[in-house]
Amino acid sequence: MSFKQIKLETGAQIARLTLNRPAERNAMTPDMGLEIREAVNIINKCQAARVAIISGAGQSFCSGADLRTLGAETGSGQAGEGLGGGERFYRLFLSIRDLRVPSIAAVNGHAIGAGFCLAIAADLRVIRRSAKIGATFVKLGIHPGMAATWNLPRLIGPANAAELLYTGRVIDGDEAMAMGLANQVAGEDFEHAVESLAEEISSSAPIALRELKSTLARTFDRGIDEALKHEAEVQARTFQSEDAAEGIAAILAKRKPEFRGC
């Protein structure tokens, strides 16, 4: 698939998915959603990938849905596949939750409305201190969408989530950090912070990373007994991997492990 509204880099341990409509502040369109879903499929098939960075080209992360496309069908010929502002539209962008590797939203600039929802759908967030982020749906007279009411309370608790959703208030990176929305906040060293986090994750064993990503996706669906049973089963499987043997040998030898994903 030839991408026109995103950029995708794979083949290395760090995959990079970039929203690429900088002149429109990376506003979401149905075709962009289709491209993101295909990019997720490509990353999932890339054996080298251990972590994925999701970012926006230019000065913004994502300004939300392109209001000019709301209600319009995708130009890709797949009728009804990406109706703007509806469930199908949102599911295309939420496909980043289907990534088999950990994901980092590199919020380099404004993330508003559905763009905010895209950021909180990633596993981790590094937010530029000057970025403005917010779920501004009520300011447009509409109910929040794109799983905002599901994801946000799980990240920052019901009270903080309710405040942001009821008010539609826009906050900066420091307030996002204080609320628990950001894993890291950075200024001029933003790119370095993103790369450092991605490199730290990618240095871990890939089999264990993918299994852990799958486990964490169901964290709130399991009781503690089911969680303990699942952990024991998956840990036993990973103990049989060559990476586990390498990890133990590296610790004993006081050296950095060289994981190969097998």
- Measured CA to CA, the distance from residue 118 to residue 61 in angstroms comes to 10
Domain 206-253 has CATH 1.10.12: yes
Task: Report the alpha-carbon distance of residue 225 to residue 205 in Å, rounded.
Answer: 26
Higher-scoring residue by pLDDT: 252, 146: 146
To which CATH superfamily is domain 6-202 assigned? Answer: 2-enoyl-CoA Hydratase; Chain A, domain 1 (3.90.226.10)
Q: Give pLDDT, residue 80.
A: 39
Which of 48-52, 59-63, 227-231 bottoms out in mean pLDDT, i.e. has the lowest?
Answer: 227-231
In this prediction the pTM is 0.89
| Predicted confidence (pLDDT) at residue 251 exceeds the cutoff of 80 | no
Name which of 37, 42, 32, 34 is nearest 9 in CA terms: 42
Pairwise CA distance, residues 203 & 150, whole Å: 31
Q: Which pLDDT belongs to residue 11?
A: 85
What is the reported pLDDT for 226?
A: 84
Q: Quick one: pLDDT at residue 36?
A: 98
**Per-residue pLDDT tens digits for 158-186:** 999 999 999 999 999 999 999 999 999 99
pLDDT at 260: 83
Residue type, 188: E
In this predicted structure, what is the pLDDT of residue 71? 52
Q: Domain ranges in the chain?
A: 6-202, 206-253
pLDDT at residue 104 greater than cutoff 90: yes
Q: 57-61, 200-204, 208-212, 223-227: which range is least confident on average? A: 223-227
Determine the Cα–Cα distance for residues 50 and 15; give it in Å rounded to an integer.
8
Q: What is the pLDDT of residue 113?
A: 95
